[in-house]
Structure formats: structure tokens, C-alpha cells
Amino acid sequence: MKNTTKTKATTTKTKKAAATKPKTTKRKATTSSSSSGFHSTKFNFMTSVLIVSLLLNLFTAAIWITLQVTTIYDASLYDLFIGR
């Protein structure tokens, strides 16, 4: 008789544990392909702007480092910006 009591208690605990598990919710599939296309286009545009910006910054940094290291271009830059 004690064995049946233990199994009933065990199955009750198992049912309670199963009942307390969080339920998963299903996501709705997006039916609008234009929405995902817009986000893709926006992402591509932002990526291209970032790449162009990085290239311009690298070019500017290379020119600046060159001007800091050498004195050859000083007279040319003076004539370009200040010379009349």
C-alpha cells in the first residue's frame, strides 16, 4: 500500500512540474515582402555610406600622416591655400 501512495505522489509532482513550464508562443509570419525589402535596402544604403566614409577617413589620415612626416609638400600647400 505504501508503494502506491509514493507513485501517486510522484505522478502528482510530475503533473505540477509540467503545468508550470512556460508556454511557447508562435510568431506570425510577415506577409508583406515590401517591408522586408525596405529594411534590406535601408541596411544596404547604410552599409555603403559607412564604407565610403571609412575610405574617405583612411585617405584623409594617409594624407595627413604624409604631410606630418615630409616637408616636401609644405611650399605647395602654402601656395595652394594662402598664396596669391
Is residue 52 assigned to a domain? yes
Provide the pLDDT for residue 6. 53
Q: How far are the Cα atoms of 30, 39, 40, 43 from residue 34, in angstroms, in the given order?
A: 10, 9, 10, 14
pTM of the predicted protein model: 0.45
Is residue 58 assigned to a domain? yes
Is residue 54 assigned to a domain? yes
Residue count (the chain): 84
What is the tens place of the pLDDT at every residue in 14-54?
555 555 666 677 776 555 555 677 788 889 999 999 999 99
Is residue 81 assigned to a domain? yes
Is residue 75 assigned to a domain? yes
Is residue 80 assigned to a domain? yes
Domain range enclosing 76: 38-84
**Alpha-carbon span 74 to 62, nearest angstrom:** 16
Residue 56 DSSP label: H
36 Cβ contact list (under 8 Å, min separation 6): 30
